[in-house]
Amino acid sequence: MTNTSYREIWEVASRHLTLTALFFLPKAKKISLERRLRGKQEYAKLQQADWALVSWGKSGRTWFRVMLSRFYQLHFNLDTEYMLEFDNFHRLNPNAPKVLFSHNNYIRDYLGQWDNLAYYRGKKLVLLVRDPRDVAVSQYFQWRYRMLPRKKALNSYPPHGTEVDIFDFVCNPDCGIPRIVEAFNVWARSVPELGDDVLVVRYEDLRSDPAEVLRQVVTFTGTTPDPAHIEAAKDYAAYENMKKREAKNEGMRASGQRVKPGDESNPDSFKVRRGKVGGYRDYFTPEQLRVVDRMVEDVLDPVFGYSGG
């Protein structure tokens, strides 16, 4: 078994067995328990990881992971069609790193630490950030067209089957801009504490110069890159190339499945949807835009460059 380890299968199975055995618990307690179980498993991986990439959902992680995976495939001469998922490349070549990809939500529930990133100390940490306004809009389409009902409940999104306007969604403190800004502010306070072991990468810079950002990340995490491999990885993961592969149900696999649209006839259901910097402005009236902008500009720490402080 070269791409999915028995440990990973057991992790999922044991989590489901535990939750099934506790079927009598109230729904809220089962959700809390599942989040802690997921966090416990993620924290165990963190202890083994060579480095970690933390991002909020819909911040460009899949795109970057495709690019990083292609680079490692070339650099370590790996014959696989799968994306990098923790230690699957390491099992093919022991020189390849173990990389934890995390949205940092379950692990903080397990540890009970919501106000810092101290548990990453001692690991190289890459923080991938994106303008919270673009993130929230992208998450709206993820919630509406791609997210499974149980995942909505697990992460406090509006229940499956409900009708929610996009403006109301991005203003929702449980799933919209306020929640994202709160998390980013924790990250901002943690960056100085982690010192030289943290690298902040902005989605906007990744869009403008993906090869340079990829070079920075692999160098920071301990790999000396061949420029030809960087360029090849950049070209492979180019937005239009990924969009075409998703439409054709081709390209790298992830967790046993190819990255594919929720509804092939609906462009908004694609995993690779728009990727437009500042695209959130296309969805709101001028009055709504003023509200949306204030939620970021008045509250978010300016260290990431999305607000004036």
Ranges assigned E (strand) in the chain: 51-55, 99-102, 124-129, 198-202, 253-254, 257-258
> 189-227: b or e for each residue (b if 16 or more CB lie within 10 Å)?
ebbeebeeebbbbbbbbbbeebbebbbbbbebbebebee
Q: Which of 276, 292, 309, 285 is nearest to 132 (CA)?
A: 292
Amino acid identity of 152?
A: K
Q: Which CATH superfamily is domain 6-304 in?
A: P-loop containing nucleotide triphosphate hydrolases (3.40.50.300)
Distance from C-alpha of 71 to C-alpha of 99, rounded to nearest angstrom: 14
Q: In this predicted model, what pLDDT tens digit does every residue of 154-170 receive, in sequence order?
A: 988 999 989 999 999 99
| Averaged pLDDT, 87-100 | 97
Distance CA 44, CA 256 (A): 22
Token pair of 221, please?
A: 């995490």
DSSP state string for 174-212: TTSHHHHHHHHHHHHHHHHHHGGGEEEEEHHHHHH-HHH
Question: Can you read off the two tokens belonging to residue 53?
Answer: 């990439």
pLDDT exceeds 80 at position 309: no
Tell me the residue type at 55: S
What letter represents residue 99's amino acid? V
Global pTM?
0.85
| Token representation of residue 290 | 């003023």
Give per-residue pLDDT as tens, 229-277: 999 999 999 877 776 656 656 557 765 444 555 445 445 434 444 678 9
* Integer Cα distance of 292 and 282 in angstroms: 12
Q: How confident is the model over 62-87, as pLDDT tens digits?
A: 999 999 999 999 999 999 989 999 99
40-44, 112-116, 268-272: least confident range: 268-272
pLDDT tens by residue, 166-211: 999 999 999 999 999 999 999 999 999 999 999 999 999 999 999 9
* Amino acid letter for position 291: V
At residue 112, the 3 state secondary structure works out as: coil
| Per-residue confidence (pLDDT) for residue 270, from 0 to 100 | 45
Q: How far apart are CA 291 and CA 288, in angstroms?
A: 5
- 52 in Cβ contact with 102 (< 8 Å): yes
